Structure 1
Amino acid sequence: MAMGSLSDSDDDFNPEINTTPLVDVMLVLLIIFIITIPVMNHAVKIDLPRATNQPDEPKPQNISLSIDAGGKVFWNEEAIDSEQLTARIAEAAKKQPQPELHLRAARTTQYEKVAQVMAAAQSGGLSKIGFVTDPQAK
């Protein structure tokens, strides 16, 4: 009566996994990686721009031109009349590089006076005119 024995016989199923072929495959892959990694080039070729050493051109000092509510014109905080304004604009236009004219007007200044100053700057040869505003002024 041999109903089910627990003996080890050659016909029984063995549930253990044979890891020998797995180890062989891993060793072959390891050898392949050891051989191929030094062959690969890790450098990235970049075409960098060439640096040049040129002196910077000095930027001219900006001209601050202010117009108050009464229409009086101030050149860098100095009060001037229309003849002096025309002469100074012509003198500034001759400079190389040309300075920027920063025009600041009071909120209640008449547009006619601002237009006259802009026309004088244009006819005098100044091409760079900037408007300065104060958003906090009421």
Structure 2
Amino acid sequence: MGMNTNSSSNSGDPEVMADINTTPLIDVMLVLLIMLIITIPIQLHAVNLDLPVGSPPPSSVLPDIVKIDIDAKSTVYWQGVALTAPQELETRMQELAAMPVRPEVHIRPDKAASYETFARVLSDTRRFGLNKVGVIGSEQFLE
């Protein structure tokens, strides 16, 4: 297959024909083409979904927002009023957890505040089931 000999030459030595046999290459290309043709229709199938139909909730109802600030001295402020004891924060969070519609909690720590204070406030919100929590003011950390 790879070599073709020609015995009609007068020299007595057979001539070597150095052509590349492209038949296996063509066979592989045809197999790949057939596999490609077979798999393309599989990718084009559509999936039918039954999406829920309904009206979006009214946008005029905004949730209440509770702002908790932590200053550079790690003092916790509830809506702008400084809290003197950690128990005071816990009692206010218990009151929020008892509400039928729980408000959003926005925590804004200062850049120089201790991480321990921030972690305690964040864990208290989780412990009392206040799941709508946002940390705001993070642009000050990009400096």
Task: Tell me the TM-score normalized by structure 1.
Answer: 0.55
Higher helix share: 2
Q: Deviations over 1:56-114 (max 9, x none)?
A: 78433200000011111000001112111001111111222210110000001111111
Letter in 1 for 2:135: F
2:137 pairs with one of 111, 130, 133: 133
Q: 2: CA distance between counterparts of 1:51 and 1:121?
A: 32
Letter in 2 for 1:96: P
Question: Would the alpha carbon gap of residues 68 and 98 (structure 1) be closer, same or farther in structure 2, given more than 3 Å must change?
Answer: same
Q: 2: CA distance between counterparts of 1:128 and 1:102?
A: 9
Structure number with the bigger relative contact order (C-alpha 8 A, sep ≥ 6) is 1
Counterpart position of 1:28: none
Where do residues 1-138 of structure 1 align in structure 2 (5 Å cutoff)? 58-80=61-83, 81-133=85-137, 135=139
Task: Tell me the TM-score normalized by structure 2.
Answer: 0.53
Q: CA RMSD in A?
A: 2.5
Runs of 4+ more than 2 Å apart: 54-60, 134-138
Letter in 1 for 2:96: A
Equivalent residues, number: 88
